[in-house]
Amino acid sequence: MPKFVDTRDDSILPVDGKNLVLFHPHIPPTAIDEIADTLQTRWIGQGPKVELFETAFRDAIGSTQHPVAVGSCTDAMHLAYLLCDLKPGDEVIVPVFTCTATNIPLLYHGVKIRFADAQPGTLNIDPDHVRTLVTDRTKAIVCVHYGGLPCDMDPLQAIADEIGVPLIEDAAQAVGASYKGRPIGAISDFTAFSFQAIKHITTGDGGMLMIRDPDLVSKSKRIRWFGIDREAKQGGTWENDIREIGYKYQMTDIGAAMGLAALKTLDETLTLRKSILARYVDRLAGMDGIEVVGAHFKDRVHAAWLCTVLVDRRKDLERKLRSKSIESGQVHFRNDRYSVFSDFREAKLPNMDAMEERYLVLPLHTQMSVADADRVCDVIQSGW
């Protein structure tokens, strides 16, 4: 057996001793049995467990929309853009602060990306700036629920409705979140979720697109499987024709088996994550030079995927935490800094400019406890 060589960045702490890492996968023990059961069937690719997972996930988040499981949240976002029929020359308004997976699929379509500024205190997209970017070429608006904190959905939906374009939610970090009593995944035209390794639940890698319009579901399922009408083919009535460009975007039954196991622990997972976030909020309230992003909203439920703070002298705090065996980091970066998006740089984005050197992500995952959050807060409160 070859010896494993750890080639990770030195800034990443090993899961060892007193080290408190930034992220850790949540894989319930029952996932092993679910996967073993799947490996003993004829279906290890896309099969019956994918459909079971789609239904179970929809029910778990409290949506009545139509779920389509795919290989990643990036697949889900691209699928949404395909269903919007975007064309070269169209404009799409997107958040400047997000994982690049939100925006890179737009490059496949040749559209003009319009970067909207971040909202002060949340790092979500700023609806006020969105409105100023609208033109007669705007064909969609994209929002991201950063860290699990829902965006201001009402004003965003109002803008989308006024100009007659779809609102697309990147909810990769927002499983279990809600806005004004409505679950994320049940609000807008399209909502994409992530089941990547370190999300609330994982399928190894995977995603789900929730679709409001039932007339688009069949098309979405053809596109995720090469353009083939897979149900008709398996029913023996396939006409042996492909009429649209498709992709290999399906989820597998092995991934779905992991997801089904994780869904059974979702309530427990959310409870723990929210309690850790609440401890950070309570302990850091009122401290000079630091504030928890999105701490005090009453009209929405935070999914608690990240705890992000805005902090003075960020590098000093990062070093202080590291000296105490606590990992922290930035995780995401403003997209307009990347060369791949250089054609879409426009005016300055003052809110993002003001927060760019101040945000820091603290540990939050199911392999830590509220006491671990206290340990982090003790270090912070000792000064940096």
Phi-psi group of 89: left, alpha or beta (phi > 0 → left; psi -120 to 50 → alpha; rest → beta) = left
pLDDT at 16: 72
CA dist 48 and 230 (Å) reads: 13
pLDDT at 237: 67
Domains, the chain, ordered by start:
30-263 (3.40.640.10), 266-381 (3.90.1150.10)
pLDDT at 4: 43
pLDDT at 234: 67
pLDDT at 9: 53
Nearest to 174 by CA among 197, 192, 152: 192
Per-residue pLDDT of the chain (384 residues; tens, 9 = 90+): 455 444 445 567 777 779 999 999 999 999 999 999 999 999 999 999 999 999 999 999 999 999 999 999 999 999 999 999 999 999 999 999 999 999 999 999 999 999 999 999 999 999 999 999 999 999 999 999 999 999 999 999 999 999 999 999 999 999 999 999 999 999 999 999 999 999 999 999 999 999 999 999 999 999 999 998 877 776 666 667 888 999 999 999 999 999 999 999 999 999 999 999 999 999 999 999 999 999 989 999 999 999 999 999 999 999 999 999 999 999 999 999 999 999 999 989 999 999 999 999 999 999 999 999 999 999 999 999
pLDDT at 287: 96
Burial class (CB in 10 A: 0-12, 13-18, 19+), 44: middle
pLDDT at 3: 54
